[in-house]
C-alpha cells in the first residue's frame, strides 16, 4: 500500500519540525511547507535526504498548490511567540485567516482531514481556571496580543464552518505552552529566555512579581496528543497541555538549580495583557484521546537544557530583539 501523504505547514518551526519527525517515523510521506519567516531549515535539514520528505518554501497565506492526493493536513504555520507576532502583526493575522482558508480549501479539494493549531491564547486573560474547552475566553481584540489571539479565534470559526457547511473532516487542537529542543533561545518566551540568561551567566528576568502561573508541556507529549487527535473522530476543540502549574518565580528558581548557576532573579514591569494564570483542563484529552502528559518538568527541562548547551556558544549570545 502506498504511504499516506500529509502536508505540514510551518514545518521548519519548533513544533512543525517535531511533527515532521513523528510522521516520518510513522511511515508517512511528508510534504513540508514553510516561508521561514520565524522558522529555520536547520530544524528539518536531517530529513532532506529522505525520499519520503519534500520541502516547499512557500507563504501559505497565498494560494497553495499540491500535486497528487493528500490524506491529511496539519496547519501549524504562524508566528507563535509574542516577540514575533508583535513584530509582524499583519502577517500573523493573514496566516491565521487567509492561510487557514487556503488550507481548508485544499482539504476540501483533496478530501483530506485537516487539523489546525489553535492556542490557549483563545482564552485570553482567563476568568475561569483551569480552562475547559467550553470557556469562551477573555480577549482584548485591540490589545497588542489581539493580532494573534483573534487570528486563532477566527481560525477556529472558519474551521468549524468548513466542517458544518462543506463536510470537511476538521480537528482543532488548543495548544498550551510547549517547550523542548529547537525552540529559539531568543524567541522571548520565559523558558528559553531563562536558559539563555543562565548559560550567559546573566541574572534571570522575571516580569511582574513572578506570581503569574504557566504550565509547560514537553514537546514529545504534545506531538503525541496531536497525533491521537488527528486519528480520532472528534471535531470540536481539544486542549493539549500539561496541567502541572508553576509560578514564573518558582520556575526561574528551578532553572537556576538545574543549571547550577549562581546568578540572581531580577524583576521588570509586566507587559500589557500578559495573562496571569494559564492551566489546561485536560479531561477531554484524557477521556476522548486516552492522552495525558508523561514527561515531567524535571526530565523535560533537562533534555531542553542539554540541547541548548550543545549549541555553539555564539547561539547563546542571541538576545531577544
Ligand atoms: P515557530 O515560529 O517555531 O514555527 C512557526 C512556523 O511557521 C515557522 O517555521 C514559520 O516560518 C512558519 N510560518 C509562519 N507564517 C508562515 C506563512 N505565512 N507561510 C508559511 N510558513 C509560515 O512556532 P511554533 O512554536 O512551532 O508554533 C507552531 C504553531 O503552533 C503555531 O501555529 C502556533 O500558533 C501554535 N502554538 C504553539 C505553541 C507553543 O507553545 N509553541 C502554543 C500554542 C500554539
Q: Is 14 in the pocket of ligand 1 (CB under 6 A)?
A: yes
Cα–Cα distance for residue pair 24/22, rounded to 1 Å: 5
Cβ of 12 below 6 Å from ligand 1: yes
| 19 CB within 6 A, ligand 1 | no
Centre of ligand 1 from the C-alpha of residue 171, in Å: 17
How many whole angstroms from 77 Cα to the centroid of ligand 1?
5
Place of cell 484524557: 286
Active-site position among 72, 123, 148, 179: 148
pLDDT recorded at residue 163: 98
Helices (H), the chain: 14-25, 82-85, 89-94, 100-110, 146-166, 190-200, 219-231, 248-259, 283-289, 297-310, 313-316
How far, in Å, from the CA of 91 to the mean position of ligand 1? 12
**Cα torsion angle, 220, 25, 118, 76, sign:** positive
Q: Is the CB of 96 under 6 A from ligand 1?
A: no
pLDDT of residue 188: 84
Query: Per the omega criterion (within 30 degrees of 0), is the bond before 187 cis?
Result: no
Joined together, the cell numbers standing for residue 307 give 540541547
Residue 167 has which C-alpha cell?
Answer: 463536510
Can 148 be counted among the known catalytic residues?
A: yes
d(CA 172, CA 170): 7
As a whole number of angstroms, the distance between CA 14 and CA 175 comes to 13
- pLDDT, position 220: 98
> Which atom, in ligand 1's list, is nearest to the CA of 152?
34
pLDDT of residue 147: 97
Q: Which residues make Cβ contacts (< 8 Å) with residue 85, sequence separation at least 6?
A: 78, 79, 92, 145, 147, 148
| pLDDT tens over the chain, length 321 residues | 889 999 999 999 999 999 999 999 999 999 999 999 999 999 999 999 999 999 999 999 999 999 999 999 999 999 999 899 999 999 999 999 999 999 999 999 999 999 999 999 999 988 998 999 999 999 999 998 999 999 999 999 999 999 999 999 999 999 999 999 999 988 888 899 999 999 999 999 999 999 988 899 999 999 999 999 999 999 999 999 999 999 999 999 999 999 888 889 999 998 776 767 778 999 999 999 999 999 999 999 999 999 999 998 888 877 665
> What gap in Å lies between CA 304 and CA 183, rounded to an integer?
9
281 lines ligand 1 (CB under 6 A): no
Separation CA 14–CA 210 (nearest Å): 26
Q: What is the distance of C-alpha 145 from the center of its chain?
A: 16
CB 297 within 8 A of CB 254: yes
Residue 222 near residue 242, CB atoms below 8 Å? no
Amino acid at each position: 500500500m502506498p504511504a499516506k501523504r500529509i502536508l505540514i505547514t510551518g514545518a521548519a518551526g519548533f513544533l512543525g519540525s517535531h511533527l515532521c519527525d513523528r510522521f516520518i517515523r510513522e511511515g508517512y510521506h511528508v510534504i513540508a511547507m514553510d516561508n521561514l519567516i520565524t522558522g529555520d531549515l536547520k530544524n528539518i535539514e536531517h530529513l532532506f535526504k529522505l525520499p519520503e520528505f519534500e520541502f516547499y518554501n512557500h507563504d501559505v497565506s497565498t494560494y497553495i498548490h499540491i500535486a497528487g492526493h493528500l490524506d491529511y493536513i496539519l496547519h501549524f504555520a504562524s508566528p507563535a511567540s509574542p516577540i514575533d507576532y508583535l513584530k509582524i502583526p499583519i502577517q500573523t493575522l493573514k496566516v491565521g485567516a487567509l492561510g487557514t482558508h487556503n488550507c481548508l480549501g485544499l482539504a476540501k479539494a483533496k478530501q483530506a482531514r485537516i487539523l489546525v493549531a489553535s492556542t490557549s491564547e483563545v482564552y485570553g486573560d482567563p476568568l475561569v481556571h483551569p480552562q475547559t474547552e467550553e470557556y469562551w475566553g477573555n480577549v482584548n481584540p485591540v490589545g497588542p496580543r489581539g493580532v494573534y489571539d483573534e487570528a486563532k479565534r477566527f481560525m477556529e470559526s472558519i474551521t468549524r464552518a468548513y466542517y458544518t457547511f462543506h463536510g470537511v473532516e476538521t480537528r482543532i487542537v488548543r495548544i498550551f505552552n510547549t517547550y523542548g529542543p529547537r525552540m529559539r533561545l531568543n524567541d522571548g518566551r520565559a523558558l528559553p529566555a531563562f536558559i539563555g540568561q543562565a548559560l550567559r551567566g546573566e541574572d534571570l528576568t522575571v516580569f511582574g512579581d513572578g506570581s503569574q502561573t504557566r504550565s509547560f508541556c514537553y514537546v514529545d507529549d504534545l506531538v503525541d496528543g496531536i497525533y491521537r487527535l488527528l486519528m480520532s473522530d472528534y471535531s470540536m476543540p481539544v486542549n493539549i497541555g500539561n496541567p502541572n502549574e508553576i509560578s514564573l518565580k518558582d520556575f526561574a528558581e528551578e532553572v537556576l538549580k538545574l543549571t547550577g548557576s549562581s546568578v540572581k532573579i531580577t524583576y521588570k514591569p509586566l507587559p500589557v495583557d500578559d495573562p496571569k494564570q494559564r492551566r489546561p483542563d485536560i479531561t477531554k484529552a484524557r477521556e476522548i484521546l486516552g492522552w495525558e502528559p508523561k514527561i515531567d518538568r524535571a526530565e523535560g527541562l533537562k533534555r531542553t537544557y542539554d540541547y541548548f548547551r550543545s549549541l555553539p556558544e555564539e547561539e547563546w549570545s542571541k538576545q531577544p530583539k
